[in-house]
Amino acid sequence: MEIIGDLTFAGLASHLLVGLSRAMILFIVTSGLSFVLGVLRVPNIAHGSLYMIGAFVAFSISHAIGGNTGFWVALLLSPVVVGLVALIAERSLFCHLYEREHLMLLLFTFALMLILGDLVKMFWGADYRSIMAPKYLRGSINIFDSPFPKYNLFLLVIGPIVAVLLWLFSNKTKMGKIARAAAVDREMVGAIGINVSWVFAFAFVLGCLLAGLGGALVSPTVSVTLGMDHDIIMEAFLIVTIGGLGNMWGALVGSLLFGITQSFGVLFWPQFAIVFPYLAVVIVLIWKPTGMLKSVW
Amino acid sequence: MLGVEEIHTFYGLSHILFGVSLTVLRGEIVCLLGRNGAGKSTTMRSIMGLTPPRQGTIRFRGKDITGNKPYQIARMGIGYVPDDRRVFADLSVGENLELAQRTTGGLAVWDKDRVYSFFPALRRIDSRKAGFLSGGEQQMLTIGRALMTNPDFLLLDEPTEGLAPMIVKELEDRIGRLRAEGLTVLLAEQNQKVALRLSDKGYIIDNGLIRYHGSTEELTADEEARKKYLLV
Ligand SMILES: Nc1ncnc2c1ncn2[C@@H]1O[C@H](COP(=O)(O)OP(=O)(O)OP(=O)(O)O)[C@@H](O)[C@H]1O
Ligand SMILES: [Mg+2]
């Protein structure tokens, strides 16, 4: 039994890069979940379903259009489609439920996850689907003498861009500041004349849009299939918890920890790789039960 | 300007206000006195629409505003300064003010610069996170934030509570200046001295009922009523 794999510098570096690029996907999805948790106080279990829908919509669009263009159109449009689904769900369902207790919200979003899962099954069936990245993002390039997939490098570029955009949004725009204020005291936001209801709709759509973007981005690297929702939502909730609820930087730090322990697990002990991130979660929560960074709850 | 008529307000199942009525005329400062738990804050929250009354009506400028949402009530020109201050701790002082800015309606147009001239202590700390302010600074900020909405009616819930005498004096002076500019104020207080110095008339609330009302002179003279309802 081989416990320790390829322990060269190149091996380490390439695992680190893979871990980091996995962390970028996790961050994009988790920051959306965390945003919705922070501003709306809704633990949205259906967030993973929106991620899955993002991947399936990306599949349909990229196959309908085809080629390199298909991929880019899918990447741009599927978050928008997911955002629209979220807008409809918010205006018709969620907006009546914000004052309910968290247990109710958990049950409700859990039910929504099951419903969305079935809808996806009706629309796309239970087959495995795959999407091709554009030609110039396929294959590998050599970094430190070991091959590194180009698409993962692309993810390493997109992740920080999303982080910067999110930072700009919450610190430099009025909407972002209102969202931050509402995360702390939604009642007072109303009392200074702001219609919180629309702020919530906006925040919810933005959070879900990030799930859709994550789903579209991940689609060329995995098989797009039912069950994606369950896998991601488990990880996303753990990351939000270890990062600090509602804290965007916490989502980033948590995703990095999760992604990197995952990929180093593969390196050191492949048979049990899956255990490492969860071990890291347990250690973090024993050390800091409210998460590494400040929770807004 | 403001008429509260026979309101009954509940928190869940607990009945807190039992038919509270009061009237505030344009340009007046009216104080609402009462001891801990008497129902002052609940009255304020009822008016603001934060805890809407289940019975009774609230009129503002002759219009029935009962059941309106807080943001609508704020836009009609009612500013709210809550008792526990509740600044947006995560935002800077300047951002707290900017978020509240509302340019339509109102008597005078308030902007950040005018708030800073009104409370010079805030100008120096424009970029500081509101969560790191002292009690007095937070109080100035919540009043400033309410002013930024350009209200012509202000609900002030115990603005001097727990503050040093110097700051209480400053706030007293500022509230007087607001009246001079035409603002109407409903002031909840436990601090009788400050309240009676500022107000034109007063109400005493106890256990959710209005027990007394009269001009400031009457209230000052009637030591018995004050003893009965206000002494702890
Ligand atoms: N959120 C709430 N839920 C249930 N009961 C409440 C709530 N807030 C206040 N109360 C109760 O309502 C009653 C009136 O409280 P209120 O805050 O209006 O008093 P107050 O006159 O403002 O007192 P204080 O001087 O302490 O601010 C009290 O008995 C209090 O315990
Ligand atoms: Mg009170």
Note the pLDDT of residue A183: 87
Rounded CA separation B122/B136 (Å): 10
Retrieve residue A204's tokens.
Answer: 């919810």
Tell me if B69 and A180 make a contact (CB, 8 A cut-off).
no
Note the pLDDT of residue B223: 83
- A6-20, A251-265, B137-151: which has the minimum mean pLDDT? A6-20
Share above pLDDT 70 across residues of chain B, in percent, rounded to a whole number: 97
Rounded distance from Cα A105 to ligand 2 centre (Å): 31
Q: Which residues line ligand 1 (CB under 6 A)?
A: B 11, 14, 16, 34, 36-42, 83, 190
* Domain limits, chain B: 2-77+152-230, 87-147
pLDDT in tens, B29-82: 999 999 999 999 999 999 999 999 999 999 999 999 999 999 999 999 999 999
Pocket test for ligand 1, best of B8, B13, B14 (most atoms within 8 A of CB): B14
> Is 60 exceeded by the pLDDT of residue A5?
no
Whether B149 contacts chain A with CB within 8 A: yes
Whether A191 contacts chain B with CB within 8 A: yes
- Number of cross-chain residue pairs from A and B with Cβ atoms under 8 Å apart: 61
pLDDT in tens, B110-134: 999 999 999 999 999 999 999 999 9
Share above pLDDT 90 across residues of chain B, in percent, rounded to a whole number: 84
A184: chain B residues, CB-CB within 8 Å: 88-90
Higher-scoring residue by pLDDT: B225, B167:
B167
Rounded CA separation B146/B159 (Å): 12
- Band the pLDDT of A119: cuts 50, 70, 90: very high
The mean predicted confidence, pLDDT, of chain B is 93
Q: Answer whether residue A284 is part of any domain.
A: no
The total of structural domains in chain A comes to 1
Assigned CATH topology for domain B2-77+152-230: Rossmann fold (3.40.50)
Q: Answer whether residue A293 is part of any domain.
A: no
Task: Write the CA distances from B26 to A1, A197, B40, B67, B102, integer angstroms.
Answer: 86, 32, 21, 23, 21
Note the pLDDT of residue A167: 94
**Element at A185 (helix H, strand E):** helix A174-191
Q: Which residues contact B171 (CB under 8 A, 6 or more apart)?
A: B139, B140, B143, B159, B160, B163
pLDDT in tens, A34-53: 999 999 999 999 999 999 99
Closest Cβ opposite residue B90 in set A174, A184, A195? A184
Residue B8 · residue B55 · CB < 8 Å: yes
Provide the greatest CA pair distance for chain B: 49
- Band the pLDDT of A1: cuts 50, 70, 90: very low
Tell me if B74 and A191 make a contact (CB, 8 A cut-off).
yes
Note the pLDDT of residue A2: 47
B50: chain A residues, CB-CB within 8 Å: 187, 190-191
Whether A171 contacts chain B with CB within 8 A: no
Note the pLDDT of residue B139: 96
Range of the domain at A166: 2-227+267-272
